[in-house]
Copies of this chain bind each other. A is one copy, B any other.
């Protein structure tokens, strides 16, 4: 098993929906990438028993977090605790790449 992965090699685009790629996975944690092209949206949703974070690797996004609406750019870490409705929209003109972790893994 490869224990190091370079993010740029795992990014991509999906036409219908945003792009998802798993990097690493165990019972305790799922670590992956979400890539949203301009105009794409990850609809607000929640996970009852899982905490989640997003780290903005590239681009910028507008996040929903409960009743907040927050802009995040490169270097931003967004925390979506269990039960908090969260989602993100790419309203910019370039790709938004997010490192995403969910614990425990779905």
Contacts and interface: CB of A to CB of B under 8 A. Distances in A.
Interface stretch (A12-20, A21-29, A36-44): A21-29
Number of this chain's copies in the assembly equals 2
Contacts of A50: 28
Contact of A26 (B29, B72, B82): B82
Interface residues of A, number: 36
7 contacts: A3-B68, A4-B63, A4-B77, A6-B77, A28-B104, A57-B75, A103-B103
Given A3-B65, A4-B78, A5-B79, 12 more contacts: A3-B70, A4-B72, A7-B76, A8-B75, A23-B79, A29-B29, A53-B101, A55-B55, A77-B99, A99-B99, A103-B103, A104-B104
Those 10 A-B pairs whose CB atoms lie nearest each other, nearest first: A29-B103, A28-B103, A103-B103, A24-B79, A7-B75, A26-B51, A28-B51, A3-B65, A3-B79, A4-B78
